[in-house]
Amino acid sequence: MDFLKIKLEKLPRIGIKYGAILKKLNIETVEDFLLHFPFRYEDYSERILIENLAAGETATVMGEVVQSKLVRTWKKKMMITECFVSDETGTVRAVWFNQPYVSDSLTAGKGVRLAGKISQDAKGLFFSNPAWELSSRTPTNTGRLVPIYPETEGLTSKWIRWQMQSMIKYADELIDPIPENILKGLHLPILSEAVKSLHFPKTLKEFELAQKRFAFQQIFLVQLATQRVKISWDKQNAVSIAFNETLTKYFVQSLPFALTDAQRKAAFQILKDLEKPLPMNRLLNGDVGSGKTIVAAMASLSAINAGFQVSLMAPTEVLARQHYITFCEILKNSDIKIALLTNSYKEIKNFQFPISNFQSNPNEKISKNKSREDLLSKLKSGEINLVIGTHAIIQDDIRFKNLALVIVDEQHRFGVNQRAFLQQKIEEINDGLPNKIPHLLTMTATPIPRTLTLAFFGNLDISVLDEMPKNRLPIITEIILPSKRKDAYDFVHKEISKGHQAFIIFPLVEESEKLTELKAATQEHTRLSREIFPDLKLGLLHGKLKASEKEQVMADFKDKKYDILVATSVVEVGIDIPNATVIMIEDAERFGLSQLHQFRGRVGRSDKQSYCFLFTGSKTIKAKSRLSAMEKTSSGFAIAEEDLKLRGPGEFLGTRQSGLPDIAMEHLSNVKLIEIAQDYAEQTLQDSPDLKDYPLLQKELGKFQQNIHLE
């Protein structure tokens, strides 16, 4: 009988009641339970003599119960258990509130271990609500490094520890997916020993080694997943798109601004990739406002000029529409037919002149609200050169004549389980080119620190835009305390009197029970309109609006029908309002630094001086020092590194989003460990590209890829 696969609800000690609660944590079998790891430990390992106890310390004592009594307080109607425990050096009092059963268990003469914080009152030193267990039992809750587990309602760490103590012996049945030679080479414990050490470590060193083993396992699996995608991708063929230097130079010279050196370098890398018969797989990693769109336009122009089609995918309809408008403007002097395809929008703009003839003020022929069928027909026939849209572009009924380049913007926001899935869809896309797949360019405006690039993007070539256009002035950023709020509002009035516009950002759409202290955007819009800016026009944008409503609000703001846009985090990416010069962010301490930097990037998009005001009511030193990083630097890459350092990879990436366990997250800043995992992944795939020689590892990788989100 495979005990590891037994459903927990079938076990007498757990039953249906606790089985249902555990299911909420995705724990259904004995194996799941054994792999439910602690997230921290209380160090109750050192036993202290009672005479050496001191107030404020955490300690473990062992002795005999001298007296135990139950007292009811009349004022609060609370039951208090009071117990006196003695060792060879003295006696100490322990107090439990509303736990009357403790006095029944701790009767005079019984040996007991107590562990917890020492407090002091008029009667002297005492333990307040300590962990306890009879000294005849194997240490579980006291006298050791005590594991603290992720809990849910109706489930305590103490209960999990008792169950784990009885089940830990079955860890010996766990089969290790990591090849033995790798573990030996790294001096890491086998799976069963590592599981035991994580639940009940004898020493801190033992726990750290077990933790390192699991961190290596997770990062090793990430590397295997990304490198297998790379190997598969590299076996494919793509069309070779010749680099037309004359066309490229002409396009660059026609721009109303000079490219940065970073843009030139990235564009050259991409255009050289397109020349190869192997499909490009490159990430364009750029700061807010660094000019990724122009680089993408240059790649698109090259592909279209060679007679091929291009598609650009964005994660939201608002962002897709923004790209559509931008590309129509950038490529207005060329005979390129551009279409917009989302669930809400179908639109084609058609410019009627030769691609080689760059003119100004061309006659535009605009056909709006084309039926989906008409648009799909034009894609299939090749009449449309560039289609921009959401994931609607990769639906099964889409057919292209000769799609040679796919551009994916902010791909980590798609919610696709894995980048591998997206690449697989692109491999399967009906591109009209037999035995060829499109080149792939992914873009992100969230600067990614080097360690995370190493860990998650091992299958990509990377181009970095870390330089801002020369006409951009650094955004002046300032933390605004409550006492200076009126001054900030007055400043906004002055900016708007100059003809400029402003954003005001709030974290929520509506009040909720858990976050009642936060200002809801809808309520604040009303308050600001009536009390602070009654003479100005305020718009409202939030995630609950329909796509068409969001689009209308944005269009009205861009057309200056609103002076101020009150919005939630829906404006984080893709909204381009060059006339906006101020952004005010309420409850700034609630956001990560990288997200604040994204918000800040909504202004400073012209040659006008722009400002970012971070409102905070927090008085903690940590919050102020974190926000001060925004005042000190405008570099998104520096901000991302600081954010990673302060919040850790788990919060930076969003542990729940990535699916990676906390253990792996804690080690994502360990470059050495990531590099070792990369090397072992390469060696393993060289030995067995399909992992058939490592069936246990192959199975584990399959399970891993169901849970992980390599975003």
Sequence length of the chain is 711
350-371 pLDDT per residue, tens = 533 233 333 333 334 334 444 7
Does position 374 have pLDDT exceeding 80, yes or no?
A: yes
pLDDT for residue 513 is more than 50: no
- Region of 254 on the Ramachandran plot (φ > 0 left; ψ -120 to 50 alpha; else beta): alpha
| SS3 of 456-489 | HCCCCEEEEECCCCCCCCCCEEEEECHHHHHHHH
- The percent helix, strand, coil of the chain (3-state, each to 5) is 40, 20, 35
pLDDT exceeds 90 at position 386:
yes
pLDDT at 85: 92
Percent of all residues in the chain with a pLDDT value above 90, rounded to a whole number: 39
Contact 401, 309 (CB under 8 A): yes
Cα–Cα distance measured from residue 243 to residue 226, given in angstroms and rounded to the nearest whole number: 29
pLDDT at position 76 is 64
Residue pLDDT, tens place only, 255-305:
888 999 999 999 999 999 999 999 998 989 888 778 899 999 999 999 999
Beta bridge partners of 92: 85
pLDDT of residue 399: 86
User: Which range has the worst mean pLDDT, 192-206, 279-293, 655-669?
Assistant: 655-669
Please tell me the predicted confidence (pLDDT) of residue 71.
82
Given pLDDT bands bounded at 50, 70 and 90, which one contains residue 496?
A: very high
CATH of 46-143, one of 3.40.50.300, 2.40.50.140, 3.65.10.10, 3.30.70.360: 2.40.50.140
Backbone dihedral region of 357: left (phi > 0), alpha (psi from -120 to 50 degrees) or beta? Answer: beta
> Residue 174 CB: number of other CB atoms within 10 A?
18
Return d(Cα 615, Cα 683) in angstroms, integer. 51
Averaged pLDDT for residues 314-321: 82
The more confident residue out of 343 and 160 is 160
pLDDT value at residue 489: 95
Q: Is 359 helix (H, G, I), strand (E, B) or coil?
A: coil
Higher pLDDT, 273 or 450: 273
Side-chain half-sphere exposure of 83, counting CA atoms within 13 A? 32
Is the per-residue pLDDT at 646 higher than 80?
no
Q: Which residue's structure tokens are 């005010």?
A: 584
Q: Would you state the pLDDT for residue 545?
A: 79
List the strands of the sheet with 309-313, edge to edge: 364-368, 346-351, 338-341, 386-389, 309-313, 403-409, 439-444, 281-286, 461-465
Query: Highest-confidence range of 132-136, 387-391, 637-641, 690-694, by mean pLDDT?
Result: 690-694
Q: Are 505 and 567 in contact (CB under 8 A)?
A: yes
* CA pair distance 81, 486, nearest whole angstrom: 54
Mean pLDDT lowest among 140-149, 215-224, 403-412: 403-412
Q: Which two tokens stand for residue 693?
A: 């020689």
Q: Does residue 162 register a pLDDT over 60?
A: yes
- Report the pLDDT averaged over residues 456-465: 80
* Confidence (pLDDT) at 509: 46
Other CB atoms within a 10 A radius of the CB of residue 86 amount to: 15
Q: At 626, list the tokens.
A: 């974190």
Do 210 and 198 contact (CB within 8 A), yes or no? Answer: yes
- Which range in 193-202, 333-342, 393-402, 646-655 is most confidently predicted, on average pLDDT? 193-202
CATH among 3.40.109.10, 3.30.390.50, 3.40.50.300, 3.20.170.30 for 476-633: 3.40.50.300
Q: State if pTM tops 0.85.
A: no
Q: Is the dihedral of CA 565, 570, 576, 580 positive or negative?
A: positive
Considering only residues 457 and 313, tell me which one the structure prediction assigns the higher pLDDT. 313
Please provide residue 241's backbone torsions phi and psi, each rounded to the nearest 5 degrees: -105, 110
pLDDT bucket at 663, cuts 50 / 70 / 90: low
Which stretch, 339-343, 380-384, 419-423, 515-519, has highest mean pLDDT? Answer: 380-384
Q: What pLDDT, on a 0 to 100 scale, did the predictor assign at position 654?
A: 52
Bridge-partner residues for 41, per DSSP? 147
- pLDDT at residue 563, rounded to an integer: 96
Superfamily of domain 245-465: P-loop containing nucleotide triphosphate hydrolases (3.40.50.300)
What tokens were used for 128?
Answer: 């307040």
Q: CB 154: neighbour CB atoms within 10 A?
A: 12
Instruction: Output phi, psi for 351, to 5 deg.
Output: -110, 125
User: Per-residue pLDDT for 49 more than 80?
Assistant: yes
Q: How far from the centroid of its chain's Cα atoms is residue 330's Cα?
A: 32
What's the mean pLDDT when you consider all of the chain?
83
pLDDT of residue 56: 87
pLDDT at 517: 36
